[in-house]
Every structure is written in C-alpha cells, then in structure tokens.
Structure 1
Amino acid sequence: MSDSAMHDKTPVPPPPGGVPATEEAIWPPATPEEHRLDMPVQSLRHWRRDEERQPVGQQHRRIGSWIARIVIFGGALLLTAYGAWQMYQVVSVSRTTVLQWVLLVLFTINFSWIALAFTSAIVGFAVLLRRPQEGPLPTALRERTAVVMPIYNETPSQVFAAVAAIRESVEETGLGRHFDYFIVSDTTNPDIWIAEERMFLALREQAGEDARIYYRRRPKNTHRKAGNIADFVTRWGGAYAHMVVLDADSLMTGGAIVRLTAAMEADPDAGIIQSLPLIINRNTLFARIQQFAGRIYGPVIAKGLAVWSGRDGNYWGHNAIIRTAAFAAHCGLPDLKGKPPFGGHILSHDFVEAALIRRAGWSVYMLPEISGSYEESPPSLIDVAARDRRWCQGNLQHSRVIGAAGLKLATRQHFATGIISYLSSPFWLTQLLVGILLVLQTHYVRPEYFTRDFSLFPVWPRFDSERALALFALTMGILLAPKFLGFLLALLDRSMRRASGGGVLLFLSMLFEVLMSALLAPIMMVIQSGAVTQILAGRDTGWQPQRRDDGSIPFRDIVRRHRWHVLLGVATGISAFMIAPSLFAWMSPTILGLVLAIPISWASGKLAIGLALRRAGLLMIPEETSRPRIATRAQEIAEEFAALGYDDADSLAVLHEDAQARSWHESLLPPARTRRRGEFDTDRTLAQAKLVDAESLADVRAWLSPKERTVLYTDRALLDLLARLPTAREDEAGARDRKAA
C-alpha cells in the first residue's frame, strides 16, 4: 500500500490546551497511487553494443547532422590552423624561446574554442535565415505525461503560482486531461517546508478537486536534484509515458508542452527532446544583460548546436520532455569513486543522463523553434558566480565520465565542451600572464624594444608587430561574430526589430551589451580561474538555494568578494604602464574591468539601473514589449498566494496554533518507524525532554536546535506535545492572572 493511501484519514490532533478532538479531518491524498519503475544504477566501465536498441526510422536526419559537423568542425580546424600559423609567424621572427612556445600553445587552444563557436554560429545563422516555423498546435495526444517541478528552499508562492499558471495554459489547449502535475520538494528549511504544504492546499483549492496536482517532500535530499527526479520516476513513473522536467524558475506555455509531447509521440526513437528556454522577467542590470544576450544571440548559437548535434544532442536539466521508461532503464546514476569534488554523486547530472540514454540507442535532440519555454536568471554578478562555482565543479567532474564505455563521439564532445568552457578561463589568464612576461623580457634586454612614442600595440623586434595586430583583430572579430549575427537576424525580422525598440535602439543595446561584457569578462575570468584552482586543490562546493528575485547585495559583501580582483587590476595596470604606455593601452579593457570590479558588481544587482535602461528603451526584448500571457498570469497568482502570508510565517507558531495546518502536515508524514528496544535517537530524546519542560512556545523556539526542530516536524507524538502548550493568548491570560494574584 502506498504512503498516501495509508494517510487518507488522519484524526485531528488535540487542539492547543490538550482538549481532545471530537471530529475527524479527512484529507485527500497529496500523491496518486504509486506505479513503480526500477531504475538500475548504470555502469560507466562496461557496456555491450548488443545492449543498444536500433532506431526505427528517420535516418536521413543523421546525414544532415554529419554534413553540419564536417562544415563546423572542419571550418573551426582550418581557422585554428590559420590562427596558429599566424601566431607562429609573430613569435618566430628570431629564435623562439620557451615562453614563446608556451604562448603559441595557449593561443592555439583558446583560438580553437572561439573558432568552433564562430563556425557553429554561422551554420545556425544560415538555417535561421529561412525562418523555420513551429507548426500548428496538435489537436490530439495518445498518452499521459507528468509535468514535474523539483524545488529546493524556494519561495512557495512563486513556484506554486508557476505550476498553477502552467496548468491553466495547458488546459486552454483542450488537451489538459493528458497531463498531471507534480511538485517534488527537497526543501530543508522548516519554515519553507510548512509554507509549501499550506500553499499546496491553497493551490489545490484554487484549481479544484480534479486538477491532478500533487505534492511530495523527501525526508532526505539524497543526490540532490537527480535523486529528487529519480525518486519520482521510481515511485510514479510507471503511470506516465513521458515527463516534462521543469526547474523552480521555469515557465512553459501549454502550447510548448503540447508540442513537445506531440513531437515525442511522433518519434518512437526520441528519449529526450530539449526546448530552448528564454530568460524573461529580469530587471536588474546584470540580469537584463543576460536576458538581452540570450534572446538576441541565443537562437543563433542554439540552432547551430542543434544542427550539428542532431540526434546526439544534450540535455540541460529542465524545460525538456523525457521518455520515462527509457530514462528509468538507462539513467540511474552511479556514484563516482573517491571524495568530492571529483568523486561522490554526479553534480551536473543532466549531461550524464543524456549520455547514458543516448548510449542505449535513444535519440536526444533540441527543438529550438518551439516557442513558449522560459526561465529566469540570477540577479547579480555574485549570484552568477555562486551558481557558476557549482557548475564548474560539475563540468570538471565530467573528466571522470568522458571516457565511459559505449558513449557516442558527439556525447564525448559535449563533455569536452563543458570541461573546456571552464578551463578556458585559466588558459586565457595564463596566456595574458605569459604575454606580460614576454614583454618584460623584451623590455629589459637591450636594445630598448618599446619606443617612447605612444602606439596602440607594443613594438617587439622579436615579434612581428603588424602581424600580431592583424591577428588580434581577427581574434576579436571571431569572438564577436556570433553576437553580430544574432543582431543581424533580429534586425532582418521586422516584428522582432520593432518589438525590441527599433533598429537604432537595438544597435545601441548591442553596443552596450558588448561594452558591459568586455568589462565583466576579466572579472569572470579571474573568478572561474579561482574556482578551477580550488576544485583541482580538492575543495568541494556546497549546494545553496539560488536567489531568484531581483535585489542588491550588501556593499561590504561586494568589497569582500572583489577586493583581490581590484588589487590584481591595479598591479597589472601599474606594471603595464611602467613597461610601456602602449602595453597599458592594449590591456586596458582587462585592467579596467578588474579595477572597477566593485562598482561593476554593485551596479549589476541594482534594480533601479536596470529599470532606467528599460525606460530608455535599451536591452529590450520582444517578451517585454508584449509580455507572455503565462508570465502575467503567474505573477497574478503569485501575488494572490503571497497575500496569504504563508511565505514568511513562523512554522512553529503555525503548527502550534493552527490545528488544521497541523492535521494536514501530519497527513503528509510517512508512517512512523518502529523503534527497537534499547535504540534511542539523541535528537528526538532531547527534543522530547525540552518540549516536556517547556512552558511556552517561546521556550521551544529558544531551546530547540535546528536538528531537533526537524525531528519535531517529523514526529506525530512530539507534535502532540507542541500542540498542548498554551497558546499566546492563553499564556498572556495566565500571566495576567499571576500578576493579579
């Protein structure tokens, strides 16, 4: 029997003061009847080719992706070879030193990275020029799909409002009967936990008895988000052919969800189909920069990736549809040997899940032309850095997975791309430092290698300065080309151009974004280099809940986080200027970004600056000119839910004074574990002793440790002791009586 079935009827605990209840509360189950699926742990060391299923159709798609790969990777290889040859000509004017060889190697690695992004963007641009359409909305579906939103210490009113808005949008398609909705919680904060339960009750009351919205909280968040999804799959996955996996900040229209589902049903080989989520609802300076870049440049980059990846694509962990049985059979993640950061459970689980399901013969691909898929982004530079630290560890951890048996070549390329995306920062930083060392070497060896006349680029007799300047221009052109192609595509689309403020404002927005990105790039380079160094040194990262809301960070925290960046920028600037003004001018973007790290970071999280830019028409995207209806509806519901006051309520007071909330909470608890004689839980024993000794809720609040408080919330007997304490009103009356006596 399922846990939910065992708790269909739960007696109301004695109300405050210990008076026994005379009625029985009957709560509908928070989860449906379980339909279990086995999810065996997969081996990364052993795989037999006969275990791979054979595709049943549409092989012509693979031919197109291979042609795209030849164009993209071949073009990137030719560009890299040309760039490396030009750099060799720069450094080999005279006898080449060890430092010059190091510079050549680092340049080649870094240049190959941007060359691949350039050729991929070219292909994406060429495809999008044909204006691919997403097609009509399907009118029928065959199978059932679960929409699953995993949450972890989020603001309940916002995430539950998002689920409500998504459900309403799906219902409007006329195909709502095919979808159920699961909010699967890994929340550890007791106040948020109780708020989630109360918010779920409010959501179900708002949506109606037949809404098919369910809620489950795990007692232990083993393996974090991957474990949260795996728990859903193993307990309820057997009832659903597919699951649409969301993130806590996701929004998807009914049209997007129905189109993804129809695409999955039409393709018997599809294991995962990924949509392209666009960033919306952002208003701080930094978030608006990311929002603009994602909307204007993102489609070009994503389409290029989708074309060459073909059916060997990747999974980004959310806003995607997954074939549930295939996922259960092939995506059970193993723990990696050793301790974190490289051992333990897999952090960036989505890449690995895509790799394993693809290894088994299921296709993984992206449909970026499907509209109506949205997400949000962190509000400031420091928030992005905190998230990036976790992503960095997860991607570097993939160095333990990239050699797994049976993986497709394109899958290994996805892993390599993720790894190099973080290693590129220390590579660029090292290239910069090696360049400075070479300049120092040439400066302090007679004759004098830098002229006294100011010039844009240092004059190196042992370098070919003209060729170096041309190579620098080529590198910058290749680096900025994807941005320009995205801008050009938006400019050519009349509706998008007008919705973004018109051609002039769109151009000014692009210039502003490029300028801010140039200033932010050296800060992120140093931050990511530090993260890589920490991870290689064996330092693990935590898993803190991500800040979703707009808001600034205390200035002292900004100074603490960026003080070393400023000192590095000042030291680099002084050193460069002492060597030659021309070197200082050449390095000025890097120097300026580091020196201004504190005010830039402060400004990045300022809501007022972002809103001022919006009023000026800068960094506008079409979704701001004509806001998606689902975003407006989610905000309306969030305001209604926030007005209930559950988000900020003291959960101890709620469970103490609200008999209905306490009864509902107890109905969601799993069955009590039978204690063996002589077995004692220290936290529970201490919590019970403190509750027995307490005379008021204030005593409980002051005495219980966080662990003891968690035990209290999971134990019906302890909750009964809490309920028997005097209420605040009774406590005040007793105090008045004692004073009068």
Structure 2
Amino acid sequence: MNAKLVSHRTAPAVQRGPMPRQPWVGVVPSLRAVFQGRTVDADAPWRAEALAEQQEGQQAWQLAAIRRRRWLMFWIVGATALATGLLWRGQAGQGLPSPLQGVQMALFALLFAWVSAGCVTAAMGFWVLLRGDRHALSAKDAAHVRLGRDARTAVIMPICNEDVPTVFAGLRATCESLASTGAQRLFEVFVLSDSSGPELIATERAAWQQLRDHMKAQAAIPGTELQVHYRVRKVRTRRKAGNVADFCRRWGRAFKYMVVLDADSVMTGDALVTLARLMEAHPRAGIIQTAPRPCGLDTMHARAQQFAAQVAGRLFTAGVQFWQLGEAHYWGHNAIIRVQPFMQHCGLASLPGDGALGGDILSHDFVEAALMRRAGYHVWLVNDLVGSYEQQPPHVLAELQRDRRWCQGNLQNARLIAEPGLHAVHRGMLATGAMAYLSAPLWLLYVMLGVAVWLVEGHTMPQAAAVLSPRDMAGLWAVTGLMLALPRVLGLVAVFMRGEQALHGGALRLVGSSLMEAVLSTLQAPLRMAAHSLFVVGALTGWKLEWKSPPREAQDLAWREAFARFAPLGVAAVVVQLVMMQVSPSAAVWLLPMVAPLVLAVPIAVISSRQRLGLGLRRAQWLMIAEETQVPGVLTRAWQLARQFSLQQRPEPIVPTWRVAA
C-alpha cells in the first residue's frame, strides 16, 4: 500500500500574540497582606478590568445571586445543626461528649453539610426545571441576534494519543452539522495534537486530510467550505492547558471567540452558532459553558451513568446554575471563550514546589473561570442549550483513572483559594472541588472513629459509626436518608411532571431503571471511597501522576486487570472484617455494607463493564436516555461514522513531506 504524498501546510499562517503567565502570590503572602491591609499586585492588568465592571454597577442577576446564596447557607447550616444536635443528644451516656466523640461529631457536621448542600442544590434544580429562572442565561436570548463578520470563532479540539476513528467520527459529524447552518465562513476548526509516536501522528494526519477533503467536496460553492486545520505540537508542555495556550499565542489574535471541545465531544452546528450569538448579545460574558449530555457508550456502567445524569444529575446542573448565575463553573470543554481576555488574564503559571501539589496546574478549567471572573468578565452556565454531547467512562476503572487526575488537580487548586481578587463564589468552588475528594477519607475516618468510640468507651449499639439511642437514631437516619434519596426521587418526579417517561422506556422501566442504577451506585460507593482516599493520600504524599488519555470507546474490563487493581482492596477489607469479628462481632456486622462491596469489587467491576450486558439492557429498554429514544441527527451521523471507520482500515498514513505547523 503506497502512502500519500502531500506538500501543503496543515495550519494557517501564525499571528502571534502574548499570553502572559502571572506568578501566583501564594496563601501565606495573600493572607498576610489582608491582615496588614496591604494591596498585593496593585498594578496587575486584571484590576483595571475589574474596576470597569464595578463602575457599571450591580446587575439584577448579581443581586439575585446574593439573596440565593444567603438562603443556601441558611438551609445548609440549619440542616447541619439539626442533624448534629440529634447526634449530640443521642450519644449514649450523659454530660459533655468525650474527646473522641467530639472529633466524631465535628466530622459528622462537616460531612452532613456537604451532603445537605447537594440535596438543597438538587431541590432548587427541581424548581428551576419546572418553573424556569428569569435571571439565568438562556439559549433563547440568542434567538434574534445576528453574527457580524467580526464574530470569527475557532473550534479547537486538543487531543493526545486518542483513538483516531472515534475522535474524527465525532468531529466530522460536528463539522458537517456546522456547515449545514450556512455560518461556516465565520468558523474554523483546529485539531491540536499532543500525540507521540510517528505512526499515530501519521494516522491522525491522514484522518484530518480525509476530513478536509470531505468538507471541500461537500461545499455548495468552491472556496466556501469549513476550514479544518491540524497542528502537532513538538514541545508538549503543560498538558491540555499548554496546548490551548499554544493555540492562543499562535492564532488567538485572528479570532474573537473559541469553542473548546474534548476528544469525545460532539456538538450540533446550531449549538455552536447559538454560543457565538450569546457571546455577541452579552459583551461581558467571558466564558459560556454548556451542559453536555452524556451518551454514546453501551457498557452497563456507562449506561447507568448516562441515565443518572439525565434523571437526577440534571437537577444538580440546574441547581448549580441557580446559585452561581454569572459566576459559574467552566468544565474545560463544550464551552465558548472570549479569546482576548482569556489570553490577557488566564495564563497559568506553575505552582511552586516539587511535590504532587506543585508544578503544572492539572484542573485548569476551574482556575481559568476564577481568573476570568476576577478580571470583570462573567462566566455563565447555559443549561437549556440543546446539541452538546460527551461520553462517560466505559467502566469503573476508567472512571477512577480519570478521578485520579481530577483529585490531584482539585487538591492543587486549593492552594489558590487565597489569591487576591478572586470572587467569593470561585473561592468556594476551589474549596468544594477539593472537598469532592477529601470527603472520601473523611467518611472513612468518621467510620473508624465511630468504631473506636464504641470499642474504647464500651458502647453496645453501633449504628453507622455513631452510637445513638433508638429514638434519636431513627430521627437522625430519617434526616440522612431523606438527604441522600431526595435528589433521585425529585429526578423521577420531574420526569413524570414534564411528561418525559416515554423517553426512558415508559413509567415502569423508568422506575425500575432508577432502582437498578441506585443499586449499582451503592455497590460501587465503597470502592470509590477507598480509591479516592488512596488518591488523596497519594497526592498529599507526593505520588506523581502519569498523564494518560482515558478510553473513549466501549470496551470490556479484563478479569486480570480488574483483579490486579481491585483485589488488594478486597483482601484488606477481609482482613479488617476478620479482625473486627475477633474484637467485636456486633461491630463487624455493621461494617458489612462497606466491606462486602469491596470484597466483590472485581466481579462488580467486570460485569458492569460488559458491553453485551449493556446492549441487552438497551434492547429491553432499561437505563434508556432521550438520545436513544429520539436520536439527534448529529449523533446518528457520529455513531454511523464510528462504525464505518472501525470496520474499514485505518486512514492510510501520509508521508510527512509537508510543512507541519509545530
């Protein structure tokens, strides 16, 4: 088979622009400056932008956000005080708690506040889904906005050692959909490769060439086709954030906006055009994040995650939007960014130190959102924009591999909480991002403290690591159970009230699927807690992370790999259970709900990864999502192309005799 020879450039001419990286002030200097009443970085560029926004006065959404956040804190504090009071009153014995009990109750208060925050957020999301939110940014705001010639938008897809057919199938479907809108002359697509290995790079180039030729052939008028470019970065520094920053320095000046895609992202052309229109309609918007709908994989694990995201998960998304409004998250993909302020204010310097919490920032998206808001630009989550999609990990091991990276990145970000100028909401986001993983070892410590309290102080009635009288125990468990179950219940109620049960296989299958997902989630919860605890310990002790791309395609987890990864946790759980049976058989019984899933972690992980099982559930209409009942055209095309590319040979490698943009 002869390789193709080409000689044209793979990317447009470079238009260099600066993207400075301002050093971090650090926690101690920032706090010292606050206590001394000094201003740090008085001449920083972001201060002028922030002052300009302040002079414009508070907008209606900002006043609404302040009121809403006060109510959020009221409900969290109230629920936590109630539950902690029940625990305090119900502890066996009289008088003040012992030191062990005091530490246990402090942990309980922190963890219950974390659970109650999620519950209240889901409740507000339920309200928003049914009643709407007049202060939220909506896709409807862009209905009558026209795009001027200066609204040039780059659609960038950073990739690194990905499955080429899967990636380019989704990208081609996105490009075809964008071309069908008639607005393709305002957009250009860039595939930004950080891949290593000449064979893989040659395969990527061949796939890009096929996509480029296809778009040219499909153009109604020669020269009006959607331009698709490809760049291989020779110096691969700072991972994805560095890849995006390199694009900005080379070509950012040529574009007003850029849409960032992940390797598994698929978006409709209408969604991309709507994002650009929203930016035009809101000049103070720095980032607009969509709410991607997970879909596209057929393993049982992925199907359960997709189903949960669409039934209960969307309540959390709508609830987060309710509290944050124009000070929202940025998740790093399926979002549009105003390029000029991003280049000026969002360059990321490395964190000082050589440990796992130093060096390049891993979870760059949260930090970029905080820096954009600090500079006076708003960050919005638009929850009602249709046409934004992503994939879930195919099995629990792939999920945990992703979480390992997120854990280290979120713990890194906690070092930036005290940086000058950050808004309180984004300081809170950095803290809650860390708490998302710190909660796992804290729950484990809480359980261990409960057992210690019971053993050391001679109690005889352990209950979930807390020692309570029967009446107060019932009250506490009623409150806790309500907090944990309410989001799933409200998710089901919202589906029925909106008449969407047919999209999930009908009423009976909807309820049955919810129970199935809840059981699987319960069985996987101890594994997630143990793994996240190890991740936190590893990050805090300097365990360096090896950066790998997660699997994008459905694949079964091999028994050998699952055994190698999860069997040690099962063995440790058995040892703990045997020791507890010798020390206190009654306490061992109460630990069984946590120990048993760890012992069964290997078969649970393998069975839930089986694509055949997931396909069987789909044929029986279990764990159904809307995109399977009424498949959007862009997804139909992406899945069709993925099957086509998988059945045929890989794109023919191209001999790199061209001038490759590097």
The answer to whether TM tops 0.5 is yes
Instruction: Give matches, 1:158-169, under 5 Å.
Output: 158-169=166-177
The reply on whether 1:147 has 2:155 as its aligned counterpart is yes
The match for 1:471 is 476
The reply on whether 1:305 has 2:305 as its aligned counterpart is no
Give, in whole Å, the separation in 2 of the partners of 1:578 and 1:477.
Answer: 35
Cα 1:26/1:159, change in 2 over 3 Å: closer
The match for 1:571 is 575
The reply on whether 1:667 has 2:645 as its aligned counterpart is no
How far the C-alpha of 1:211 sits from its partner, in A, is 2.6
Give, in whole Å, the separation in 2 of the partners of 1:609 and 1:157.
Answer: 24
Cα 1:25/1:587, change in 2 over 3 Å: closer
Give, in whole Å, the separation in 2 of the partners of 1:418 and 1:316.
Answer: 12
Give, in whole Å, the separation in 2 of the partners of 1:26 and 1:376.
Answer: 34
Cα 1:545/1:621, change in 2 over 3 Å: same
How far the C-alpha of 1:353 sits from its partner, in A, is 0.7
How far the C-alpha of 1:505 sits from its partner, in A, is 1.0
How far the C-alpha of 1:397 sits from its partner, in A, is 0.5
Give, in whole Å, the separation in 1 of the partners of 2:380 and 2:127.
Answer: 19
How far the C-alpha of 1:249 sits from its partner, in A, is 0.3
The match for 1:615 is 619
The match for 1:156 is 164
The match for 1:499 is 503
Give, in whole Å, the separation in 2 of the partners of 1:66 and 1:338.
Answer: 37
The match for 2:229 is 214
How far the C-alpha of 1:313 sits from its partner, in A, is 1.1
Cα 1:25/1:514, change in 2 over 3 Å: closer
Contact 2:318–2:383 (CA under 8 A) maintained in structure 1: yes
How far the C-alpha of 1:459 sits from its partner, in A, is 12
Contact 1:402–1:412 (CA under 8 A) maintained in structure 2: yes
* Partner SS, residue 328 of structure 2: coil
The match for 2:37 is none
Instruction: Give matches, 1:401-412, under 5 Å.
Output: 401-412=416-427
Instruction: Give matches, 1:296-375, under 5 Å.
Output: 296-375=311-390
The match for 1:547 is 551
The match for 1:396 is 411
Give, in whole Å, the separation in 2 of the partners of 1:476 and 1:459.
Answer: 15
Cα 1:511/1:572, change in 2 over 3 Å: farther
How far the C-alpha of 1:439 sits from its partner, in A, is 2.5
1:99-129 deviation line (CA, Å, top 9, x unaligned): 2112111111110101111111111111111
Instruction: Give matches, 1:529-544, under 5 Å.
Output: 529-544=533-548
How far the C-alpha of 1:164 sits from its partner, in A, is 1.6
The match for 1:694 is none
How far the C-alpha of 1:154 sits from its partner, in A, is 0.8
The reply on whether 1:596 has 2:600 as its aligned counterpart is yes
Contact 1:423–1:529 (CA under 8 A) maintained in structure 2: yes
Give, in whole Å, the separation in 2 of the partners of 1:644 and 1:610.
Answer: 25
The match for 2:71 is 71
The reply on whether 1:52 has 2:67 as its aligned counterpart is no
The match for 1:232 is 247
Give, in whole Å, the separation in 2 of the partners of 1:643 and 1:381.
Answer: 27
Give, in whole Å, the separation in 2 of the partners of 1:363 and 1:413.
Answer: 16
Give, in whole Å, the separation in 1 of the partners of 2:301 and 2:482.
Answer: 24
| Highest RCO, 1 vs 2 (Cα 8 Å, sep ≥ 6) | 2
1:409-432 deviation line (CA, Å, top 9, x unaligned): 001000001001100000000111
The match for 1:82 is 82
How far the C-alpha of 1:42 sits from its partner, in A, is 2.2
Contact 2:166–2:552 (CA under 8 A) maintained in structure 1: no
Contact 2:9–2:661 (CA under 8 A) maintained in structure 1: no
How far the C-alpha of 1:548 sits from its partner, in A, is 1.1
Contact 1:138–1:259 (CA under 8 A) maintained in structure 2: no
What is the number of equivalent residue pairs in this alignment? 626
**Structure 1: runs of 5 or more not aligned:** 1-14, 17-23, 451-455, 655-660, 672-741
Give, in whole Å, the separation in 1 of the partners of 2:373 and 2:307.
Answer: 33
1:481-524 deviation line (CA, Å, top 9, x unaligned): 11221121112121x21110111111111111111111110110
The reply on whether 1:201 has 2:201 as its aligned counterpart is no
How far the C-alpha of 1:640 sits from its partner, in A, is 4.2
The reply on whether 1:638 has 2:639 as its aligned counterpart is no
Cα 1:281/1:184, change in 2 over 3 Å: same
Give, in whole Å, the separation in 2 of the partners of 1:180 and 1:449.
Answer: 69
- Out of 137-146 and 265-274, give the one that drifted further: 137-146
Give, in whole Å, the separation in 2 of the partners of 1:238 and 1:397.
Answer: 30
Give, in whole Å, the separation in 1 of the partners of 2:465 and 2:15.
Answer: 72
The match for 1:383 is 398
* Partner SS, residue 54 of structure 1: helix
The match for 1:7 is none
* Partner SS, residue 129 of structure 1: helix
Contact 1:72–1:123 (CA under 8 A) maintained in structure 2: no
How far the C-alpha of 1:435 sits from its partner, in A, is 1.3
The alignment's TM-score, normalised by the length of structure 1, stands at 0.81
Give, in whole Å, the separation in 1 of the partners of 2:589 and 2:633.
Answer: 49
Give, in whole Å, the separation in 2 of the partners of 1:531 and 1:459.
Answer: 23
The match for 2:35 is none
Question: C-alpha root-mean-square deviation of aligned residues, in Å?
Answer: 2.4
Name the amino acid aligned to 1:668.
R
Contact 1:277–1:375 (CA under 8 A) maintained in structure 2: yes
* Partner SS, residue 666 of structure 1: coil
The match for 1:29 is 9
Name the amino acid aligned to 1:667.
W
Name the amino acid aligned to 1:254.
G
How far the C-alpha of 1:314 sits from its partner, in A, is 1.4
1:622-674 deviation line (CA, Å, top 9, x unaligned): 11111121111112333444455236x7xxxx5xxxxxx32xx1213469xxx
Give, in whole Å, the separation in 2 of the partners of 1:369 and 1:105.
Answer: 39
The counterpart of 1:282, out of the listed 294, 297, 301, is 297
Name the amino acid aligned to 1:34.
V
Contact 2:232–2:661 (CA under 8 A) maintained in structure 1: no
Contact 1:264–1:270 (CA under 8 A) maintained in structure 2: yes
The match for 1:486 is 491
* Partner SS, residue 668 of structure 1: coil
Give, in whole Å, the separation in 2 of the partners of 1:638 and 1:340.
Answer: 41
Give, in whole Å, the separation in 1 of the partners of 2:295 and 2:339.
Answer: 29
Contact 2:181–2:269 (CA under 8 A) maintained in structure 1: yes
Give, in whole Å, the separation in 1 of the partners of 2:228 and 2:163.
Answer: 18
1:39-90 deviation line (CA, Å, top 9, x unaligned): 0112332443445253358800111211221121221111111112111112
1:448-486 deviation line (CA, Å, top 9, x unaligned): 836xxxxx95999x7423212321231121022112211
The alignment's TM-score, normalised by the length of structure 2, stands at 0.90
How far the C-alpha of 1:28 sits from its partner, in A, is 3.4
Name the amino acid aligned to 2:111.
N
Contact 1:558–1:601 (CA under 8 A) maintained in structure 2: yes
Contact 1:458–1:580 (CA under 8 A) maintained in structure 2: no
Contact 2:7–2:659 (CA under 8 A) maintained in structure 1: no
The match for 1:711 is none
Cα 1:459/1:416, change in 2 over 3 Å: closer
Give, in whole Å, the separation in 1 of the partners of 2:195 and 2:74.
Answer: 47
Name the amino acid aligned to 2:517.
E
Percent identity over the alignment?
A: 36
* Partner SS, residue 201 of structure 2: helix
The match for 1:557 is 561
Name the amino acid aligned to 2:440.
S
* Partner SS, residue 297 of structure 1: helix
Contact 1:53–1:362 (CA under 8 A) maintained in structure 2: no
Give, in whole Å, the separation in 2 of the partners of 1:241 and 1:302.
Answer: 28
Give, in whole Å, the separation in 2 of the partners of 1:640 and 1:569.
Answer: 45
The match for 2:288 is 273
* Partner SS, residue 180 of structure 1: strand
Give, in whole Å, the separation in 1 of the partners of 2:430 and 2:475.
Answer: 33
- Out of 255-264 and 236-245, give the one that drifted further: 255-264
Give, in whole Å, the separation in 2 of the partners of 1:263 and 1:51.
Answer: 21
**Structure 2: runs of 5 or more not aligned:** 26-39, 217-222
Name the amino acid aligned to 1:522.
P
Give, in whole Å, the separation in 1 of the partners of 2:369 and 2:64.
Answer: 21
How far the C-alpha of 1:139 sits from its partner, in A, is 6.8
Name the amino acid aligned to 1:27.
S
* Partner SS, residue 148 of structure 1: strand
Contact 1:147–1:246 (CA under 8 A) maintained in structure 2: yes
